[in-house]
Amino acid sequence: MKTGTQALSALFSDRTSLGCFALLTGVALVVPVLNVAVPESSPLHLSSYVVGLIGKYLCYAILAIAVDLIWGFCGILSLGHAVFFALGGYAMGMYLMRQIGTRGVYGHPVLPDFMVFLNWTELPWFWHGFDRFWFALAMVALVPAALAFVFGWLAFRARVTGVYFSIMTQALSYALLLAFFRNDMGFGGNNGFTDFKDLLGFDLQSDGTRSALLVATAATLAASYGACRLIVGSRAGRVIRSIRDAESRARFLGYHVESYKLWLFVFSAVLAGVAGALYVPQVGIINPSEFEPINSIEVVIWVSIGGRGTLYGAAAGAILVNYLKTYFTGALPELWLYALGAIFIGVTIFLPRGLAGLMRVKSRVE
Amino acid sequence: MTPLLPQTGVGRSTRSAWREMREAAARRKPSVLRGKVLYLDKLTVSFDRFKALDELTLYVDPGELLCIIGPNGAGKTTMMDVITGKTRPDEGSAWFGPDVNLLALSEPEIAQAGIGRKFQKPTVFELLSVFENLELALADDKSFWHMLVAGLTPVQRERIDEVLHVIGLGAERTAMAGALSHGQKQWLEIGMLLMQEPQLLLVDEPVAGMTPQETERTGELLLSLAGKHSLIVVEHDMGFVRSIAQRVTVLHEGRVLAEGDMDRVQNNPQVVEVYLGT
């Protein structure tokens, strides 16, 4: 207990952590005010579209932190984290679909529209329970955790590491992509879920709900960051870094490397799932394209641009790259992929520690 | 002699009878084990056709410092690999104390049972501090969930400080291990071994690449450890071996070629032939 309090107080006395918490609190306070309280005629007004965008970026930041935790600190390069993100998103999507009720196109009280369209007469067994929010929340964590546990248990126990592990995670994304495209899987096929109405009785289209979702996302990001900091700052965190740097040496010191990797991987998958669950109500749609193997690779690019092994760098990288993506796909859509490639190459050559490396150099000069 | 076939249990399947025989065989340990820290019996390891170990038999007494010398490819590193569970032998048995069958344990289990290994190349965790390196090696509950919440007790802190003192790195406790000199890294690694509180230390070429002063300091360190721990030191540097050895074993082509004190070994004509290649 005593060590727990010590760790917490260390977390709040660390300047980087404090800075991150302060920034997120600022976003959570200012953005809703600018959206709801400032009149639309004012130049300071933020449109609901921008609020949604910021919320989306923060979800990506959580996902980036999840990837940085395992890649930056334990050397596990997962190219399949979009899978856990999408599974969390689907779990939340199933809850939102059940909330539509009779307001769907076909007006069926229980079955979502796509099931009526497919001439199904009853709800598949795995859809039961998703009408309750707490159950959906549990599944948001449990489904990614279970998949990560099974996949990680098999892979780590067989001592699959490095690029082989990365390839397997890509294969996993592709397999699930194909599976979720099928109509008879019961997840809406290639259309996925959309047309959500409300969450816990609050209208998803209203500015108030959108602001509340943004605040919830900022709080989750802060909590995820804090939890990851606590993990990497603990003695287990040192073991995790030792596994990254010299796995067999850690084994000879008596550590069960597989179990460390497994629990870290499972935790990271849960974070990704939670990020996906926050993402879906804010963007209003979830479909199999979220499983695209390229999405997982993009996350890794955000992390390396932001700075691997720093957590805050990963979050900053995710937000920055996605902001640029929004800008470019609006202004110069055909140039976006070239721009992303150029940024990635530039950062790799000139900033091998990512943008976070800049801060480190600066603080050393000071 | 205990009967090998189970006398009771008429009607049991042959398979379970065989299992009991197997277990009984596993319980029958060589009588030479009594009082030995390590006993290797007729270990054979082959890679393709090449026999890295050829019925190697070897023992270590409690508190003893055993030096192992031998030309390249004599099987020294393979022997260490078998003891620490990295390589499984084709034949033979390996016992740690009277009760621990090393061949049935995994690498972390062997480490936790009390065998520490120092590699030929210093492998410290370069991006962690000297203190953190020792902390990692500390004998403790090493499960993930324990490590996640555990801090260091005052006793454990003292133990780390004590080892820092023994290896002479007290002033470098917060330095990154990667910034240490070659000799200091070797000592840090020996310190990490000590943190595990092992009964048996396997030390692979501790003075390779060291300055004469560093070599001397390392010799003192190893000698001060003998008695409290048993040590196997593999080394090429004959002068160094002469200065620390109590008993020397010469390996050649996976077998023990000669054994005894340094003078006896050096005057053995077979050893001379192997080393000079005449």
- Can you give the pLDDT at residue B277? 58
Packing angle, helices B182-195 and B130-137, rounded to 10: 30
Q: Indicate whether A85 pLDDT > 90.
A: yes
Q: What is the pTM of this model?
A: 0.81
Q: Are B38 and B117 a contacting pair, CB within 8 Å?
A: no
Residue whose entry in the numeric block shows the structure tokens 């943004």 = A214
Q: What share of chain B is helix, strand, coil (3-state, %, to 5)?
A: 40, 25, 35
In a domain, A230, yes or no: yes
Residue whose entry in the numeric block shows the structure tokens 């249990």 = B9
Window 81-140 of B, Cβ < 8 Å to A: 84, 86, 107-108, 111-112, 116-117, 119, 123, 125-128, 132, 135-137, 139
Kindly list the distances between the CA atom of residue B79 and the CA atoms of A148, A324, B101, in Å, as whole numbers in the listed order: 38, 57, 15
Tokens of B212: 């004469």
pLDDT tier at B238 (50, 70, 90 boundaries)?
confident
A249: nearest CA in chain B? Answer: B123
- Can you give the pLDDT at residue A366? 44
Sign of CA dihedral A214, A220, A221, A222: positive
Tokens of A210: 């959108």
Overall average pLDDT of the A230-244 stretch: 92
Cβ pairs A/B, distance under 8 A: 79
- Can you give the pLDDT at residue A1? 44
- Can you give the pLDDT at residue A137? 95
In a domain, A155, yes or no: yes
Q: Which of A140-149, A209-218, B45-54 has the lowest mean pLDDT?
A: B45-54
Most A-contacting residue of B148, B190, B201 (CB-CB within 10 A), to test interface: B148
What is the C-alpha separation between A231 and B60, in angstroms, rounded?
42
Positions of E strands within A170-213: 193-194, 198-199, 202-203
In a domain, B20, yes or no: no
Contact list, B142 vs chain A (CB under 8 Å)? 239, 253-256
What is the C-alpha separation between A67 and A321, in angstroms, rounded?
15
Of the candidates B117, B128, B144, which has its C-beta nearest A252's C-beta?
Answer: B117
The mean of the pLDDT values for chain B is: 83
Q: Indicate whether A193 pLDDT > 60.
A: yes
Q: Indicate whether A357 pLDDT > 90.
A: no
CB contact under 8 A, A259 and B84: no
The mean of the pLDDT values for chain A is: 88
Q: Indicate whether A68 pLDDT > 60.
A: yes
Of the candidates A2, A246, A256, which has its C-beta nearest B123's C-beta?
Answer: A246
Q: Indicate whether B7 pLDDT > 60.
A: no
Instruction: Report the Cα B163 to chain-centroid distance in Å.
Output: 19
- β-pair partners for B247: B66
What is the C-alpha separation between B190 and B116, in angstroms, rounded?
9
In a domain, B1, yes or no: no
In a domain, A52, yes or no: yes
Please report which residue ranges of B126-268 form alpha helices under DSSP H. Answer: 130-137, 144-149, 154-166, 182-195, 212-225, 238-244, 262-266
Number of neighbouring beta carbons within 10 Å of residue B172: 20
CB contact under 8 A, B127 and A246: no
pLDDT tier at B33 (50, 70, 90 boundaries)?
low
Number of neighbouring beta carbons within 10 Å of residue A8: 12
What is the C-alpha separation between A304 and A348, in angstroms, rounded?
8
State the pairing for strand pair B115-118/B200-204.
parallel
- Can you give the pLDDT at residue A231? 93
Tokens of A97: 């679909």
- Can you give the pLDDT at residue B15? 64
Share of chain A above pLDDT 70, in %: 96
Residue A266 to chain B, least CA–CA distance (Å): 13
Overall average pLDDT of the B39-63 stretch: 87
Q: Are A319 and A58 a contacting pair, CB within 8 Å?
A: yes
In a domain, B23, yes or no: no
Backbone angles phi, psi at A203, to 5 degrees: -65, 125
Q: What angle do CA A78, A79, A83 make, to 5 degrees?
A: 95
What is the C-alpha separation between B81 and B137, in angstroms, rounded?
19
Contact list, A249 vs chain B (CB under 8 Å)? 119, 123, 125
In a domain, A335, yes or no: no
Please report which residue ranges of A158-206 form alpha helices under DSSP H. Answer: 162-181
In a domain, A351, yes or no: no
State the pairing for strand pair B100-101/B91-96.
antiparallel
In a domain, B17, yes or no: no
In a domain, B26, yes or no: no
Overall average pLDDT of the A100-114 stretch: 84
Asked if B197 reaches chain A (Cβ–Cβ under 8 Å), the answer is no
Number of neighbouring beta carbons within 10 Å of residue B23: 9
* pLDDT tens-digit series, residues B176-200: 988 998 888 888 988 988 888 888 9
Of the candidates B86, B111, B126, which has its C-beta nearest A253's C-beta?
Answer: B111
* pLDDT tens-digit series, residues A2-53: 456 667 777 777 788 888 888 888 888 888 888 878 887 888 888 888 888 9
- Can you give the pLDDT at residue B13? 62
Please report which residue ranges of chain B form alpha helices under DSSP H. Answer: 14-27, 76-83, 107-113, 130-137, 144-149, 154-166, 182-195, 212-225, 238-244, 262-266, 269-276
Of the candidates A6, A241, A250, which has its C-beta nearest B151's C-beta?
Answer: A6
CB contact under 8 A, A251 and B108: yes
Coil, strand or helix: which one is A187?
coil
Contacts of A139 (CB under 8 A, 6+ apart): A91, A94, A129, A130
State the pairing for strand pair B38-47/A285-286.
unpaired
Instruction: Report the Cα B250 to chain-centroid distance in Å.
Output: 16
pLDDT tier at A141 (50, 70, 90 boundaries)?
very high
In a domain, B8, yes or no: no
- Can you give the pLDDT at residue A321? 92
Q: Which domain holds residue A19?
A: 2-294
- Can you give the pLDDT at residue A362? 58
Overall average pLDDT of the A175-194 stretch: 89
Q: Which residues of A226-240 are buried (b: 16+ CB within 10 A; e: fewer)?
A: bebbbbbebbbbbbb
- Can you give the pLDDT at residue A352? 81
Tokens of B52: 């890295």
In a domain, B21, yes or no: no
In a domain, B9, yes or no: no
Q: Indicate whether A302 pLDDT > 70.
A: yes
Contacts of B248 (CB under 8 A, 6+ apart): B66, B67, B68, B69, B241, B259, B260, B261, B262, B265
- Tally the residues of chain B: 278
Per the structure, how many domains does chain B have?
1
Per the structure, how many domains does chain A have?
1
What is the C-alpha separation between B21 and B31, in angstroms, rounded?
19
Positions of E strands within A207-363: 285-286
pLDDT tier at B23 (50, 70, 90 boundaries)?
low
CB contact under 8 A, B192 and A4: no
CB contact under 8 A, A254 and B144: no
Residue B114 to chain A, least CA–CA distance (Å): 10
Share of chain A above pLDDT 90, in %: 48
Number of neighbouring beta carbons within 10 Å of residue A325: 17
pLDDT tier at B10 (50, 70, 90 boundaries)?
very low
In a domain, A326, yes or no: no
* pLDDT tens-digit series, residues A305-316: 998 888 999 999
What is the C-alpha separation between A189 and A186, in angstroms, rounded?
7
- Can you give the pLDDT at residue A220? 94
What is the C-alpha separation between B199 and A313, in angstroms, rounded?
45
B194: nearest CA in chain A? Answer: A253
What is the C-alpha separation between A60 and A274, in angstroms, rounded?
11
Of the candidates A238, A257, A259, which has its C-beta nearest B135's C-beta?
Answer: A238
Tokens of B73: 């490819």
Overall average pLDDT of the A287-302 stretch: 92
Q: Are A196 and A284 a contacting pair, CB within 8 Å?
A: yes
pLDDT tier at A281 (50, 70, 90 boundaries)?
very high
Kindly list the distances between the CA atom of residue B130 and the CA atoms of A38, A259, A355, A363, B153, in Å, as whole numbers in the listed order: 55, 25, 28, 23, 18
What is the C-alpha separation between A304 and A72, in angstroms, rounded?
9
Contacts of B254 (CB under 8 A, 6+ apart): B44, B45, B51, B52, B53, B54, B55, B56, B74, B75, B78
Q: What is the CATH number of the domain that holds B62?
A: 3.40.50.300
Of the candidates A242, A251, A253, which has its C-beta nearest B128's C-beta?
Answer: A242
- Can you give the pLDDT at residue B17? 66
pLDDT tier at A135 (50, 70, 90 boundaries)?
very high
- Can you give the pLDDT at residue A258? 92
Please report which residue ranges of chain A form alpha helices under DSSP H. Answer: 2-13, 15-32, 48-74, 81-100, 113-117, 133-157, 162-181, 207-233, 235-245, 247-252, 257-283, 293-306, 312-331, 336-350, 354-365
Radius of gyration of the CA atoms of chain A, in A: 21
Q: Which domain holds residue B57?
A: 33-276
- Can you give the pLDDT at residue B222? 87
- β-pair partners for A199: A202
Residue closest to B193 by CA, chosen among B107, B111, B76: B111
**Higher-confidence residue: B23 or B73?**
B73
* pLDDT tens-digit series, residues B87-120: 889 888 898 888 888 888 888 888 888 888 887 7
